[in-house]
Structure 1
Amino acid sequence: MSQRLFSALKHVLLLGVALGIIAACTLPRGAPLQREMTKQKQGEPAEFAVYQVTKNLLPQIDRWPSDPTADRHWLRHGGATSVAITPGDMVNLTIWDSEVNSLLTTTDQKSTKLENIIVSRNGTIFMPYLEKIHIAGLSADTARQKIQNQMEQIIPSAQVQLSVVPGSRHSVDLVGGVASPGSYPLNDPDGHVTVLGLISQGGGVSDGMDNPQVSLTRGSKVYQIALKQIYEDPTLDTVVQGRDKVIVASDDRYFRSLGASSTEAIIPFNRETISALDAMSMIGGLQDSRADPKGILILREYPPSAVKSGGPNHQRVIFTVDLTQTDGLFSAGKFMIHPEDTVMVTESPVVLAETVIGLFTSTVRGANTAF
């Protein structure tokens, strides 16, 4: 056998060995190929649906059930809250009397103070000579006039001054997310303390928050909104009420970044809405040496109700984005990422081909050395 023929047979044999090794095992890679992710099993029910993000698909997606976190409720500004006296408030009275033989004052003292009078559960306070007077539900001025009218029946010249220190029912708990959390009394005389005003009293929002969210608990209901939206729309700066609880916290929504992207991580939402194009920027773009710009995949799982109500064909959905096409780029800018989506940047087939060629070349070199 000639040397040339032997060399040719050797290379064919080595190529077969290399291809056999590749076929028998999976080469180590940092990301899948697009065809691997979107391939369905033959003869079995579909495990997921695949949609390419284009301008024709966007109107269809808009009719599907939206991100459930986008349906959060909030209260509009509304009017001032009632400043009526409630049980638990503290009342301070100063009673002036110019009579010489006053029942309440002495010759050298023209006024007397009755301080720290707690409004009882049934809405009354106790006063000397008048006993119990019901003042709950009245404004401070109306309560003062009522007390004075009754006082005048026994002391015609009496003049009454009244001030109210709000109790727990007239305070709001600023629970967290600010410099000075705590319980803040609603002592604005007009009953006009708003969410932004309350946050300001608490020293402002803590540093380092991603897209701060405001939660307001009133009774058994919880309302939530992005702080930025309140800044931008004054009608959303709602007036707080006694016993409200307000919390400022970072947006807890996130999406995942995997594959041949510059960043593989949990990415928090730093704004209310994030498009697929925004997501590409947030993850640092694609790895130039590995990524397939035609194979950006967005994996999402819808609830069963979405499929039944005219949504996607399957609960599990893979959206594909082609960044090499103008339509793909523009459409990616209008395709919204949902919380807990997975953005998978697939690997280019060229990378696999280069790996195979490199493996074959290494095998040939090793064989030549052995022979």
Structure 2
Amino acid sequence: MTQAAFSPLRTGTAPVRARRIAARLGRAMILGGMLLVSACGLPRSGPTKGQILSSSVERGGTTHIVNVDDRVNRAANYTPAYGFSADFRAASAVAADDIRPGDVLGLSIWENVDDGLLASMGSSSTQLSELQVDSQGYIFVPYAGRVLAAGNSPEELRRIITQKLETQTPDPQVMVTRVAGDGATVSVMGKVNSQGVFPIERPTRTLSAMLSRAGGVSIEPEIAVVTVKRGNSSGKVWLRDLYSNARNDIALRPGDVILVEEDERSFTALGALGGQTKVPLGNDQINAIEAVAMVGGLSTTLADPKGVFVLRDEPQSVARAVLGRQDIYGNQRVAYILDLTKPDGMFLARDFVIRDSDTVYVTEAPFVQWSKTLRSMLSPATEIASVNNSFD
């Protein structure tokens, strides 16, 4: 009687157990799926140190991985220098008195007769103003004809015109003046207080003097770069080097173009740093320690001090010196590794010069990914509990 009474309950127990087993399997599958998604999609600031190392040339990649030491520092610390070539420095100063095509001259002619060739009745002098020297270097003077002016000084041109006129009028007196120096000019543009085209005159025959003529620079002198374009050649110099080294104060030539601009050199900071941004270099030279400090230093909660990378494209000559190989051709991608956990590493980073267009990248510490994984496991706990309740 008792066995018959409880037999229906026993027969009903199997479906209940089956539902519970299915619920547990469902929860396990959901949890596993969530963990898989979490592990695959965990956010991070960039590639890990291992991923960068796996892209090395030795492992079939395109990047040379180089651990920085004293030898590497000596080979890699090449900084393209600003300065003028020997051709710029060897150019002699323009003679301020030389006449050139485009110059405008003024002539005053006195004749020793009452009724002269050029003078009007009752006057003994004639004023010929604004005679522009043509592209071939000539001017036209009545009764003297076409006279070559270019290449002569005003005094030499005065003698030439006098000789041509004295055969037609007795004892002519000629005076030549330069009205404007349009034939010997330079263009000054960019970050100056007064842009324009300025004549090369006696006080403005050098680069520094011409910049003064243009009102000086309109930006901070520490970041001002001066470029001079002459024909197909050009050279540039820091403004402060222009004034500190007389060799940089070059003589100007007609047609020079002077451009003053703000230094545009910069590096990019990425990864586990206090900031991720493009940073102007600011001055002539900074090192890796200064570069990290400029963006707030290493993130104390994320950064791996063993994984500080400086990424750059090295020219062939530098790449050969750094890698110690002569079979390197063309620019090479190089990833320099700095280990800031060692005293030597700090000194090496202090001696490593940052160049224009460098990328300073700091990887995350290995425990960071574990921490993120753990958080990703704990965060969906409420969702799992909700699923459990629904199955129950």
Question: Is the pair's TM-score, using the shorter chain for normalization, greater than 0.5?
Answer: yes
Is 1:297 the equivalent of 2:297?
Answer: no
Which residue matches 1:129?
Answer: 143
Provide the C-alpha distance between the structure 2 equivalents of 1:49 and 1:138, rounded to a whole number of angstroms.
62
Instruction: Identify which of 66, 73, 76 aligns with 1:61.
Output: 76
> Per-residue deviation at 1:319?
0.7
Greater Cα shift, 43-52 or 99-108: 99-108
CA distance in 2: counterparts of 1:241 and 1:139, whole angstroms? 17
Structure 1 residues 100 and 271: alpha-carbon distance in aligned structure 2, compared to 1, 3 A threshold: same
Residues 311 and 293 from structure 1, CA distance in 2 versus in 1: closer, same or farther, beyond 3 angstroms?
closer
Q: Deviation at 1:88?
A: 2.1
| Structure 1 counterpart SS, 2:305 | strand
Which of 132, 146, 162 pairs up with 1:148?
162
Aligned length: 353
Tell me: CA distance 1:19–1:44, structure 2 relative to 1, closer, same or farther (3 Å): farther
Give the SS at the match of 1:76: helix
Amino acid at match of 1:252: E
Residues 221, 293 of structure 1: alpha-carbon distance in 2 compared, 3 angstrom cutoff:
same
8 Å contact 1:259–1:346 — kept in the other structure?
yes
Kindly indicate whether residue 223 of structure 2 is the aligned counterpart of residue 211 of structure 1. yes
Secondary structure of residue in 1 paired with 2:165:
helix
1:168 CA displacement = 4.2
- Corresponding residue to 1:278 among 290, 309, 316: 290
**Counterpart residue number, 1:332:** 349
Match of 1:111 in 2: 125
Shift of 1:48: 2.2
Contact 1:210/1:250, CA 8 A, preserved across alignment? no
Q: Please give the root-mean-square deviation of Cα atoms over the aligned residues, in Å.
A: 3.5
The CA deviation at 1:29 is 2.0
Q: 1:166 to 1:284 in 2, by over 3 A?
A: farther
1:349 maps onto 2:361 in alignment: no
User: How far apart are 1:155 and its partner, in Å?
Assistant: 3.9
Question: 2: distance between equivalents of 1:77 and 1:238?
Answer: 8
Give the AA of the match of 1:341.
D
Cα pair distance change 1:358/1:106, threshold 3 Å: closer
CA offset at residue 145 of structure 1?
2.8
Report the CA distance shift for 1:91/1:343 in structure 2 as closer, same or farther (over 3 A).
Answer: same
Note if contact 2:56-2:63 (Cα within 8 Å) is conserved in structure 1: no
> Which of 228, 239, 251 matches 1:239?
251
The corresponding residue for 1:202 is: 214
| Residue identity opposite 1:90 in structure 2 | V
How many angstroms does 1:257 deviate by? 0.9
> How far apart, CA to CA, are the structure 2 residues paired with 1:221 and 1:267?
30
| CA positional deviation for 1:99 | 3.9
Superposed displacement of residue 39, structure 1: 3.2
Cα pair distance change 1:230/1:209, threshold 3 Å: closer
Residues 38 and 373 in structure 2, CA contact (< 8 A), matched pair in contact too: no
**3-state DSSP of counterpart to 1:133:** strand
Change (3 A) 1:209 1:110: same
The 1:29–1:92 alpha-carbon spacing in structure 2 relative to 1, beyond 3 Å, is: same
Question: C-alpha offsets along residues 183-227 of structure 1, whole Å, 9 cap, x if unaligned?
Answer: 1122x236x522222222222223379822222111121222222
Matches of 1:165 and 1:106 in 2, distance apart?
23
Q: Is the 8 A contact 2:115 2:122 kept in 1?
A: no
Q: How far did 1:347 drift? A: 1.5
Counterpart of 1:89, as a letter, is D
Q: Distance in 2 between matches of 1:321 and 1:358?
A: 30
| Residue pair 2:338, 2:349 contacting (<8 A) in 1 also | yes
Higher mean C-alpha deviation, range 111-120 or range 94-103? 94-103
Structure 1 position 258 matched with structure 2 position 270: yes
User: In the alignment, does 2:182 pair up with 1:165?
Assistant: no
Q: Name the CA distance, whole Å, in 1 between partners of 2:70 and 2:315.
A: 25
Partner of 1:33: 48
- Alignment deviations for residues 21-76 of structure 1 (CA, whole Å, 9 cap, x no partner): 388524212344333322358994243222222224223435xxx45x44764433
In 2, Cα distance between the equivalents of 1:232 and 1:151?
A: 52
Distance in 2 separating the partners of 1:214 and 1:266: 23
Aligned to 2:64: 49
Matches within 5 A, 1:3-22: 21=36
> How far is the alpha carbon of 1:297 from its aligned partner?
0.7
Change beyond 3 A, Cα 1:335–1:363: same
Residues 145-198 of structure 1: CA distance to partner in whole angstroms, max 9, x if unpaired? 332344344444432221123454311111322222121122x236x5222222
Higher helix share: 2
